[in-house]
A and B are shown apart, each in its own frame.
Chain A
Amino acid sequence: MEPVIRIGHLSYRYPDGTPALHDITLEVARGERVAIIGPNGAGKSTLFFHLNGTFRGEGDVEILGRLLNSKTLYDIRRQVGLVFQDPNDQLFMPTVFEDVAFGPMNLGCSETEVRDRVQKALRQVGMEGSEPLVPHHLSLGQRKKVAVAAVLAMDPEILAFDEPSSGLDPRSRRALIEFLKTLPQTQLIATHDLDLVLDLCQRAIVIDRGQIVYEGKVPEIFADEDRLKSYGLEKPLSMQRK
C-alpha cells in the first residue's frame, strides 16, 4: 500500500543540546492506524511535531509523497492534523465556534464554508450546539472532543493524536475509541493506554530514548512481555486477565 508518511533517518536535538530523536525511520500506509508507544520522555510528542514541520530535525520527512521543506510546509501542515494531549494548549480562542473556525479561516475558506465546516466537525464529535460556549466552561472530555473537531474542520488526510485518552473517565474513553474507529483518515496515536492500542491499532512502534526499538503487529508486540518490560511498558490489562 502507498505510504502517506515516510520518515528517513530523522534525528533531532532540543535547542539546549538534549538529544530527542535519533535515526528514526518509519513508513505509514494510507488508512492505517499506528500506535507510537514508549515511556515518558521517549520522544513520541517530539516525533509528532516533525510531521507538520513545527520542529525540523536532520533527515527526511515525506508526507503524501512530498518532502517537507520551507516550500511545502504550509501545504503539508493542512494535511496533518495534530491533536494535543492537553486540550487547553489547543483550544486558545474565546469560544468553541471561533476555535474550530480558526483552522478553516487560516486556510482561506469563505465565511459560509467556515460555518459549514465548523458545524460538520462539531456534529462529527457530538458537540453540536456548543458553538457559543467558552472552552473553560467545558469538561475535559468535552474539551478533548472540541480539540478533535478543531482539527477535523481542516479536513486533514492524516491525524496524529498525542495521548488521546489521558484524563478521560471510562465512558468518555470508550466513546473516544469508538469514535476514532469511525474516522477514515490515517491515524498515528501516541499513548500509554495499551488497551486502547489493542482495541484500535493494527501496528505499533515502540520508541525508547528517541529511537525506534521495536516495531510490529500489535498482538505480536504485546505477546513479548519481557521485551515490553525492558522498555518500561507492560501487557495491556485485558491481556493480563486472560
Chain B
Amino acid sequence: MTHQWHDTYHHIKTPAHHLDPRSKLSVGLVFVGFVLFTPFIRGFQAAAYGTLLLVAAVAAKIPLKDVLSRIGAVIPFALLMMLSAAFSHLSGRHLAQIFAKSLLSISAMALLAMTTPFPDMLRGLEQFHVPKLLLLFLAFLYRYAAVLGKEAIRLERGWGARYFGRFWARQWFKLGHVLAALLVRSYERAERVYAAMLARGFSGASGFVHVLHFTIWDGIFVATSTGLLTAVRMAHF
C-alpha cells in the first residue's frame, strides 16, 4: 500500500474538503488572476492576500509548516524567474513584485491541491471543458507516479544492496544505468497499459462519470471569496 505526498491531507474532513472541486478551482484561478493582474501589489495587499490564504489553510486544518514546506519546494523556481528578470532592465521593486506574485499564486495552488483529491480535480477540470486527452494524461501521471516511484525504490535498493561505500564517483555512471532501466521498464509498462485500454474498448478519448455536486455552500464560498478578493484588489490606503 502506498500513500503519495499529494494524498496526505485528503482524509481530513473539513468544510473546505467537502466543497465541490469546481468551486475551489474557480476561486483558486480567480485568486491567481487577481494577483497577476494587480499592476503593483502594495504591502497591505500582499498581506491581505496572504491572510486570505492563511485563513483558508487554518479552516482546512492543514498545518502551516506543511504549507510552508510545499511553498519552499517551489521557491527555487520563483527565484529563477527573479534571476532571469534581473538580467533585464527591471528594477529591484519589480523583481520583488515578480517574487511576491509567484509566491502567492503557488501558495494558492498548493492549498488547492492539499484540499482537493486529484481525481476530483480531474472531474472538475472536465466540467471546465479541459480536453479529455489531456485529462487522461494527467490521470495516468497521477496513477503511475506511485507505481514508477515504487519501481525506482526497488532499483535503488537493488543498487544499494551491492554498494559498499567506495568508488562514489563511479556511482554517478551507475545512476545513469538505473535511470535507463527505469525508462525501459516504464516504456514496457506503457505498452501493457495501452493493451489493457484497448481490451476495454478504448478508441481515442474517455471521460469521467459525473459525480460532483455543486451546493449552495459552494455558491456562498465562490461569492464570498470573489467579494473579498475584489475588496483587496480595489482597496486604497
Given A54-B198, A77-B199, A138-B1, check contact A115 B209 (CB 8 Å): yes
Q: How many residues of B contact A (CB 8 A)?
A: 33
Q: In whole angstroms, how far apart are the Cα atoms of A97 and B200 in the complex?
A: 15
Q: Could you list which residues of chain B lie within 8 angstroms of chain A, going by C-beta atoms?
A: 1-4, 7, 118-119, 122, 139-140, 142-144, 146-147, 189, 192-193, 195-203, 206-211
Structural contact, A89 and B196, CB atoms closer than 8 A: yes
Please name 15 pairs of A and B residues whose Cβ atoms are closer than 8 Å in the assembled complex, sorted by A.
Answer: A74-B203, A77-B201, A80-B199, A86-B192, A88-B147, A88-B189, A89-B193, A97-B209, A98-B119, A98-B139, A105-B207, A105-B209, A115-B209, A136-B1, A139-B1
Structural contact, B209 and A101, CB atoms closer than 8 A: yes
Hey, which chain A residues are within 8 Å of B119, CB to CB? Answer: 94-95, 98, 132, 134
Q: Could you list which residues of chain A lie within 8 angstroms of chain B, going by C-beta atoms?
A: 49, 52, 54, 74, 77-78, 80-82, 84, 86, 88-95, 97-98, 101-103, 105-107, 111, 114-115, 132, 134-139, 150-151, 154
What's the least CB distance linking A197 to chain B, in Å? 23
User: Sorted from nearest, which 6 A-B pairs have the closest CB atoms?
Assistant: A106-B201, A103-B200, A136-B146, A94-B119, A89-B192, A82-B199
Residue among A97, A106, A137 making CB contact with B2, cutoff 8 Å: A137
Q: In whole angstroms, how far apart are the Cα atoms of A103 and B189 in the complex?
A: 20
Structural contact, B118 and A94, CB atoms closer than 8 A: yes
What's the least CB distance linking A172 to chain B, in Å? 15
Closest to B200 in A: A103
Q: In whole angstroms, how far apart are the Cα atoms of A134 and B7 in the complex?
A: 10
Residue among B139, B198, B209 making CB contact with A94, cutoff 8 Å: B139
Q: In whole angstroms, how far apart are the Cα atoms of A114 and B140 in the complex?
A: 21
Q: In whole angstroms, how far apart are the Cα atoms of A103 and B206 in the complex?
A: 9
Given A84-B192, A93-B139, A94-B122, check contact A106 B210 (CB 8 Å): no
